[in-house]
Chain A
Amino acid sequence: MHKVLIFLVLIIHPALALATVSVEMTVARTQVAMGESLGMQVKVTGSKSSSEPQIGGSEAFQITPTGSSSQVQIINSSMTSSKMFQYQISPLKTGIYTLGPAAVTVDGAEYRSQPITIAVTKEAAQAPADPEAGLRLELSTASPYLHQQVICTLRFESRVSIANAELAPPEFAGFWKEQLGDPTQYERVVNGQQWIVNEIKWVLFPMRSGSVTIPPIKIAATVVKQGPQRRIFSSQPVTLEVKDLPMEGRPSNFSGLVGKFEVQERANQSEVKVGDSVTLTITVSGNGNVRDIPSPTVATLKDFKVYDDEPKVNTQAGANGITGTKIFTKAIVPLKEGELIIPPFELSYFDPQEGHYKTISTQAVKLTVRPSDLPQAHTGTVALPNGAAKTDVTVVGHDVMPIVEDASLMANDGVTFRERIIFAFIALLPALAALAAWVVYRRLLRIRSDSGFSRRIQARRIAQRMIQKLSHTTDVDFCQAASRILKDYIGNKFNVDGRALTSLDIERFFREMSLPEATTSVVRLLLSEFDAGLYGGRQIHASARRTLTETLAHAIDSIEKAVGR
């Protein structure tokens, strides 16, 4: 409802809606060959009721109106109207001519555009070899310098009706590329035959020196001639010899900027208090890689603090490639009073036309600095002025880090197969140690909880220790000690009171444990021998004692094997 009201007010009071009237005249190209034609537009902004434009300087061209259109836009309650007049112009003679200005009358007042200079050359190159259509790639220069902009023009010329043309977007490896405007279409006459030319332009910036080839660019299109026929048209490959930028005369602050540039500066005031800021606007304009223009530098600024604002870039794509401006805004805060000079800011670039480096600079700015109202202002403690924001770090060059020259750092940083085996083994050691600790822990736990287990696992060791002492004994002592060793061993092994065991008890145990009969027999025999010596008074000589001792040891081994631990 609110917007409707505003619209009605604007309708009722046209004067309110009347914006500033401006006239703009544009052409698709500023260079045209005899026999070619190009489109021209005159746009009247701020009125949709202007008169038909009167084009000045038209004696060198045949100008044919091709239509007009009006447009009204309402954006955020602001109405803008415009009228567009379109023409097709064909040159009548060669030379450089000024076309325009275009003059229109709006409400009795006359408004004019800027004139345009157009170069008319002789008839363009011959027609494509293909009688139906052809694709041609042209470069503004075949031997540019590194980072110099090269205008690349792709023309698809056809003499027959073409439909569904599809261009595979070229990649231009080795270049940074940007398309120059929209594709244009015009006509040209070669050898009395009319060709339709569709033209698309890019600006290319070589990113490496040496020989760089642009491979063929392809367009698939349907040729309508006695029935449709799908064809692929291809341009010829083009090779550029990209020259390195010379080392001779390269300024220390050169950042890789190539083209042609000029610089202007403007300070918003010439009188300021200590601690207050002066805004210095440095505008660098020119033709080249405008986006890469670095911030101009100054040798020393000891009496000032400088705060850089985000630079603003404005580029236009024209017949000469990319032109534009980059505006650097610096808030400069004087730190002391007096008559101070902001020294010139400098910028270096390489001019490919002249083949050498140039350094351009701003004018020095004289400032009258009065004492601050704040007593501490001159100490250097200044507030960040309004509008002075931090900016991104500006990259002004690219290079690798220095090489390492200390041979002692040439270490083996990798891991060989042998080292892997060693590392794996070392890594496994703690696991094996932990496994061993667990086994010991389980054993100790069982020993604590099962007294029979402790006796069983120690039975043989105790018996063997006692057997070693048998050689020092006499007949009776031998039989007594040997009998005790055997019974203690069996008692420990089966967790019973061994000394109370009889031969029958032992035989029963052995049967229950399924011990071999031979073992049982040997044990029975041993006990019988020992009893005979102990109670029967049998003499047992030293040789017999040795035999019995060995038999006892074997018997214990046999039981051990049969029972297990």
Chain B
Amino acid sequence: MNRLLMLLWMVALMPATLVAADAPVRTAAQAFAAAAKHYSEGNYTGAAAAYRSLIAEHPASAILHANLARAAYRDKILSEAILEMRRAALLSPRDPDIKSDLTLMRNETSDRIVPQLGMNPLRLASALGHGLSEREAWKLLIASAFFFFTLLSLRLYHNRAWVGWVSLAFGIALALTTTILLGKLLGTPDFGVVKAEETLVRSGTATTDTVLFKLHEGAEFDILKTLSDGWMKIALADGKVGWVESKDVVY
């Protein structure tokens, strides 16, 4: 009798369990559709808020970051638009729509910053793999490692000239992809965007320190250091370095 009751109880719970298991998936899809609906109705603030919530759950989706950037752009929040579109570009670097939108948004900023690549080997390596996402770099690394070491092993037993040349080619590919991956893992600093209409970049972390230069809304920078007292050390792509108040930027 007890077994029968338990069986009935389990059968009764099954639909609820199935619904509960399916709930997060449907909620994400529904939230995505709701955000798109806000956007199509011209409620860009609502759309941006919905995309932000989705990104909190799916932080590595290029499409969510790109959609948030577009909603923010339409909502006239240029700083968030550029920041999110850069994040989308990092995740999906060859997406033509993302590249086009990022260019459009950057054209609306007023600060002209001419990038200087410098001689930092990790930055150079990161620039080398500009068109690859980290996932793609890993796949290339695994593929080149497989072919290189397989050919190297084959060369022990089948020492022909062509095997040597092909293994050399894959060896170069392996070195290249390793460099690119290291650049992506170690040479891609955190970045931020100025959200204030104008912000002063100073030589130190006090408002009495010398103003080195001014940045305006939409200006992009790399973050070198973040302090808990509301200051941030930043570097521009042209090499300028200074301290800026965190309240004036998004990152």
Do B153 and A404 touch across chains, with their CB atoms under 8 A apart?
A: no
Contacts of B92 in A (CB 8 A): 413
Report Cα–Cα, A398/B61, bound state, in Å: 25
Do B146 and A430 touch across chains, with their CB atoms under 8 A apart?
A: yes
Known: A173-B197, A403-B71. A414 touches B156 (CB 8 A): no
Contact with B along A318-353 (1 / 0, CB 8 A): 000000000000000000000000000000000000
Nearest chain A CB to B216 CB, angstrom units:
5
Nearest chain A CB to B103 CB, angstrom units:
10
Report Cα–Cα, A210/B135, bound state, in Å: 42
Report Cα–Cα, A216/B205, bound state, in Å: 24
Residue of A nearest to B37 (CB): A405
Residue of B nearest to A430 (CB): B149
B13-21, B62-70, B224-232: which lies at the A interface? B62-70
Contacts of A414 in B (CB 8 A): 59-60, 91, 134-135
B25-33, B113-121, B123-131, B233-241: which lies at the A interface? B25-33
Nearest chain A CB to B153 CB, angstrom units:
4
Contacts of B107 in A (CB 8 A): 398
Contacts of B146 in A (CB 8 A): 430
Do A441 and B91 touch across chains, with their CB atoms under 8 A apart?
A: no
Contact with A along B147-169 (1 / 0, CB 8 A): 01110110011000000000000
Contacts of A409 in B (CB 8 A): 63
Q: Would you call A12 an interface residue if the criterion is a C-beta within 8 Å of the partner chain's C-beta atoms?
A: no
B33 partner, pick from A210, A215, A407, A426, beta carbons under 8 A: A407
Do A413 and B61 touch across chains, with their CB atoms under 8 A apart?
A: yes
Chain A residues numbered 171-217 whose CB sits less than 8 Å from any CB in chain B: 171, 173-174, 207-210, 213, 215
Residue of B nearest to A398 (CB): B104
Contacts of B47 in A (CB 8 A): 403
Known: A400-B70, A409-B63, A423-B138. A430 touches B58 (CB 8 A): no
Q: Would you call A427 an interface residue if the criterion is a C-beta within 8 Å of the partner chain's C-beta atoms?
A: yes
Q: Would you call B100 an interface residue if the criterion is a C-beta within 8 Å of the partner chain's C-beta atoms?
A: yes
Do B101 and A434 touch across chains, with their CB atoms under 8 A apart?
A: no
Of listed B28, B107, B149, residue having the most chain A CB within 10 A: B149
Contacts of A420 in B (CB 8 A): 138, 185
Chain B residues numbered 21-45 whose CB sits less than 8 Å from any CB in chain A: 28-29, 32-33, 36, 39
Do A174 and B101 touch across chains, with their CB atoms under 8 A apart?
A: no
Q: Would you call A433 an interface residue if the criterion is a C-beta within 8 Å of the partner chain's C-beta atoms?
A: yes
Of listed B28, B73, B148, B156, residue having the most chain A CB within 10 A: B156
Contacts of B105 in A (CB 8 A): 400
Report Cα–Cα, A430/B174, bound state, in Å: 12
Q: What count of chain A residues pass the 8 Å CB interface test?
A: 39
Q: Would you call A8 an interface residue if the criterion is a C-beta within 8 Å of the partner chain's C-beta atoms?
A: no
Nearest chain B CB to A565 CB, angstrom units:
23
Q: Would you call A431 an interface residue if the criterion is a C-beta within 8 Å of the partner chain's C-beta atoms?
A: yes
Nearest chain A CB to B59 CB, angstrom units:
7
Do B63 and A410 touch across chains, with their CB atoms under 8 A apart?
A: yes
Q: Would you call A412 an interface residue if the criterion is a C-beta within 8 Å of the partner chain's C-beta atoms?
A: yes
Do B156 and A404 touch across chains, with their CB atoms under 8 A apart?
A: no
Contacts of B148 in A (CB 8 A): 430
Residue of B nearest to A172 (CB): B110
Nearest chain A CB to B126 CB, angstrom units:
15
A426 partner, pick from B60, B64, B142, beta carbons under 8 A: B142
Q: Would you call A411 an interface residue if the criterion is a C-beta within 8 Å of the partner chain's C-beta atoms?
A: yes
Nearest chain A CB to B204 CB, angstrom units:
22
Do B58 and A410 touch across chains, with their CB atoms under 8 A apart?
A: yes
Do A438 and B153 touch across chains, with their CB atoms under 8 A apart?
A: yes
Contacts of B247 in A (CB 8 A): none
A412 partner, pick from B33, B58, B138, beta carbons under 8 A: B58
Residue of A nearest to B141 (CB): A427
Chain B residues numbered 184-216 whose CB sits less than 8 Å from any CB in chain A: 185, 197-198, 214, 216
* A residues in contact (CB < 8 Å) with B: 171, 173-174, 207-210, 213, 215, 398-405, 407, 409-416, 419-420, 423, 426-428, 430-431, 433-434, 437-438, 441
27 A-B pairs (CB sep. < 8 Å): A171-B110, A171-B214, A171-B216, A174-B197, A400-B69, A403-B39, A403-B71, A404-B66, A405-B32, A407-B29, A412-B58, A412-B60, A413-B133, A413-B135, A414-B59, A414-B60, A415-B60, A415-B134, A423-B142, A426-B142, A427-B141, A430-B145, A430-B149, A433-B149, A434-B153, A438-B153, A441-B157
A208-B76, A400-B74, A403-B47 known; 6 new pairs, CB 8 Å cut-off, are A400-B73, A403-B71, A409-B63, A410-B54, A411-B61, A423-B141
Which A-B residue pairs are the 10 nearest by beta carbons? A414-B60, A430-B149, A434-B149, A413-B91, A437-B153, A401-B97, A407-B32, A423-B138, A407-B29, A403-B67
